[in-house]
Amino acid sequence: MSRVGKYPVIVPAGVTVSVDGQTVHAKGKFGELSFHVVSDVEVKLEDGKVVVTPQSDEKFARAMWGTARARINNMVKGVGEGFTKKLDIVGVGYRASVQGKVLKLALGFSHDVDFPIPEGIDIKCPQPTQIEISGNDKQRVGQVASEIRAYRSPEPYKGKGVKYSDEKILRKEGKKK
């Protein structure tokens, strides 16, 4: 086991954290988030650090100990600095553009794909073949990136499709004569 729960979450300058029973609120320059912790885990705010401890020695309580600590850490990090995912588009004629609250994707289909940008998420296209997704909630940023990638995930022969910028595509050799 990793025992990640035993490390306290350090609250950086510019972020305020408050614990109200089982609910943790974090507020910073990138907005405000809250997380309700399960009753098997106890959360305390001690001199600028959030300390998470399990209520009992049961398996579920120990599992939620690390989960709650990781979620609170991501929440504090998100309102302080934010999260960003970058996508690359590979393929002839494949491109993306942001028009108002809609991301337009040309991915080789007979029609353009319109992806409505959800609230709390910011999408930019610095180049027609790059997409930057940013926001304060790590889970939502990753989910939006995954949904955009799912429209045309990369194929192994030419590598065409939408991929994460740090993703390596395992290439296959084509058929031979």
Inter-CA distances, 19 with 28, 33, 62, 64, 82, Å = 15, 12, 20, 17, 21
Is pTM, for the whole model, over 0.85? yes
Nearest 5°: the CA angle 141, 142, 147 is 100
Which domains are assigned to the chain? 4-80 (3.90.930.12), 83-164 (3.90.930.12)
pLDDT per residue rounded down to tens, the chain (177 residues): 568 888 999 999 999 999 998 999 999 999 999 999 999 999 999 888 999 999 988 999 998 999 999 999 999 999 999 999 999 999 999 999 999 999 999 999 999 999 999 999 999 999 999 999 999 999 999 999 999 999 999 999 999 999 999 999 999 998 887
Q: Where are the alpha helices (DSSP H) in 38-131?
A: 59-80
